[in-house]
Structure 1
Amino acid sequence: MKKYLIILVLMSTTLNAQQKLDTIYANEHKNVALFFPKPIRQGITGASNFVFTYNREKEQYFGLLQAQPGIESNLLAVTNDGEVYSYILKYSKELPKLNYFVSGTESVGNEIPTLINEKPNIELSLVDKKKNKFFENFSRFLLKSKYENLKTKRNKGLKLGLQKVVYQSSEVYLVVEFTNNSRIDFEIDYLNVYRVNGNKKRKASYQKLQQETVYKHLFPGMVKNKQSKRFVLVLPKFVLGNSEKLELEMQEFKGSRKIVFKY
């Protein structure tokens, strides 16, 4: 417990140096009540002439402050959500206020520091942006380059084709084309990519594993009648085994039309 109190006091000292703290006045004749936005878990005063009482057995939102004449001190309170509140305490015969309603914005910080994680998160965000930019640029390059139809499936005026499979760094790029000649607009619910192993009729040896798509370039939400759309799917790198195949499955949103093929 002593170690814990020392840590809180040191934290309060650091925070006090960073921002100006409000002052609360108290004396020995009246109770000064402090109402916090969350129940109080711990309250500490820096000098013995100030006493801050609160319910230690059952967490409550308020505490009572009294003081004897003496030097000024400080109050450090921690609520059950870890928020830290710090105030300067002074003795005064005349009290300007008897009730203080503390706002959550008055917190000087949290007992669990978050600054340690902020820099890595920012750096991670920058890395993700750079990576997505590379995905975008390489996808544009692939769409402009020559291609061949590796596999095409037609179904009632719909045509789904796989035109390229390109391995680059730790990703796999799939260049796909979807054509709608069904006379009805096709709103895409999803286009899933699977690794399929075995024969579906022999359930004991059949496996179908969905692959994560980390980036989509020019992926259409809707393909109108007489339209054709080319786009790129980027997936984490994988290598198909001798008995494995790649399966693409496109499903219509709020409709029953579906087109599936294996490559």
Structure 2
Amino acid sequence: MFIMIFVFAFAKANAQTPHVLDTIYANDTKNVALFFPEPIRQGITGSDNFVFTYNREKEQYFGLLQAKPGKESNLLVVNRNGSIFSYIVRYKKQLSKLNYFIPLSNSIGNERPIVTDSIQAETSEKSIDNRTYYYQKFCTYLLNRNQRIGRIKKRNESIVLSVENIVFDKEELYFVIQIENNSTLDYDLNFLNLCIETRQKGKKKSLQRLYQEPIYRHRLPSKIVEGEMVRFVYVLPKFSLSNDRRAILELNEKDGERNIKLKIAHRYVNNPN
């Protein structure tokens, strides 16, 4: 769902005349609905002040566009059948049109994946870059949302660690994390780990921990200065927890003792937003 991957995606692209893109207007008070001839598989905007939302779990024919004041950008959408649609998007305070019914004739081309052996390695590298780009865009979107999954918070000597939101998208879980430094000393971050803790039953009760390595860390700080609050996102492969397991977020201070272990109950992980 990334802009770069479609540069080489059109048949006979070099022979085509330049395509003049239509403009779609949106604002931050109304949803502009875009209805496509086939279900949406991928869609992304080129700037953070535009947000295009669609059902990522069950493909549907429509998506919703909103915008904040700022420079114009572009919207790129791929349907399930590979048809590609591209538009200029602009902010407009007063909207005269809220619904766009887009015909197949508006498609600028069709996706053509390259599978030849000679460029397989290059395609793999581009795929990794594109995936990272998507994580970056979606994490930024989550940080701009005012959504909470519940009260998951713990404090130690004026340092507050909390999980604001847990979101499922495609095959990943996104943990939106916040650290507040209400003390008079800067907080140097040593590590922040996420692990799964299992309670062993029987006469000799014990705990086993399995650490989960994030696929991507978005805006993870190395220092939280006094009086500052930071928010960032951990992206992990999707997982679920049984009743005897829970997630643990471990915050550790470098050259200090203001450490926090935040327990996240299985119900939060199993019921993400």
Q: Could you tell me the TM-score, scaled by structure 1's length? A: 0.52
Post-superposition offset of 1:129: 0.7
Name whichever structure is richer in helix by fraction: 1
Question: One-letter code of the match for 2:172?
Answer: E
Q: How does 1:62-101 map to 2 (within 5 A)?
A: none
Query: Could you give the per-residue CA deviations for residues 16-59 of structure 1, whole angstroms, max 9, x where no partner exists?
Result: xxxxxxxxxxxxxxxxxxxxxxxxxxxxxxxxxxxxxxxxxxxx
- Structure-2 separation of matches of 1:185 and 1:221: 11
- Structure-1 separation of matches of 2:118 and 2:201: 48
- Distance of aligned partners of 1:128 and 1:159 in 2 relative to their CA distance in 1, 3 Å threshold: same
Q: CA contact under 8 A between 1:190 and 1:252: conserved in structure 2?
A: yes
- Structure-1 separation of matches of 2:256 and 2:195: 22
Post-superposition offset of 1:190: 0.8
Post-superposition offset of 1:254: 2.5
- Structure-1 separation of matches of 2:245 and 2:193: 16
SS of equivalent residue, structure 1 residue 198: strand
Q: Which residues of structure 1 form unaligned runs of 5+?
A: 1-115
Q: Could you tell me the TM-score, scaled by structure 2's length? A: 0.50
- Structure-2 separation of matches of 1:201 and 1:223: 42
Question: Match for residue 130 of structure 2?
Answer: 130
- Distance of aligned partners of 1:198 and 1:253 in 2 relative to their CA distance in 1, 3 Å threshold: same
Post-superposition offset of 1:232: 0.5
- Distance of aligned partners of 1:243 and 1:184 in 2 relative to their CA distance in 1, 3 Å threshold: same
Q: How many residues align?
A: 148
Moved more, 247-256 or 125-134: 247-256
Question: Match for residue 165 of structure 1?
Answer: 166
Question: Match for residue 185 of structure 1?
Answer: 186
Which consecutive segments of 4 or more residues in structure 1 shift more than 4 A?
Answer: 199-205
Question: Match for residue 233 of structure 2?
Answer: 232
- Structure-2 separation of matches of 1:200 and 1:182: 40
- Distance of aligned partners of 1:203 and 1:145 in 2 relative to their CA distance in 1, 3 Å threshold: farther
- Distance of aligned partners of 1:207 and 1:169 in 2 relative to their CA distance in 1, 3 Å threshold: same
Question: Match for residue 13 of structure 2?
Answer: none
Question: One-letter code of the match for 1:141?
Answer: Y
Matched, 1:206 2:202: no
SS of equivalent residue, structure 2 residue 184: coil
Query: Could you give the per-residue CA deviations for residues 68-110 of structure 1, whole angstroms, max 9, x where no partner exists?
Result: xxxxxxxxxxxxxxxxxxxxxxxxxxxxxxxxxxxxxxxxxxx
Question: One-letter code of the match for 1:124?
Answer: S
Question: Match for residue 156 of structure 2?
Answer: 155
SS of equivalent residue, structure 1 residue 246: strand
- Distance of aligned partners of 1:237 and 1:183 in 2 relative to their CA distance in 1, 3 Å threshold: same
Question: Match for residue 103 of structure 1?
Answer: none
Query: Could you give the per-residue CA deviations for residues 117-152 of structure 1, whole angstroms, max 9, x where no partner exists?
Result: 984332221111100111111111111112224300
Post-superposition offset of 1:177: 0.4
Over the aligned positions, Cα root-mean-square deviation in angstroms equals 2.3
Q: Which residues of structure 2 form unaligned runs of 5+?
A: 1-115, 265-273
Question: One-letter code of the match for 2:161?
Answer: L
- Distance of aligned partners of 1:120 and 1:254 in 2 relative to their CA distance in 1, 3 Å threshold: farther
Q: CA contact under 8 A between 1:156 and 1:182: conserved in structure 2?
A: yes
- Structure-1 separation of matches of 2:117 and 2:203: 50
SS of equivalent residue, structure 2 residue 146: coil
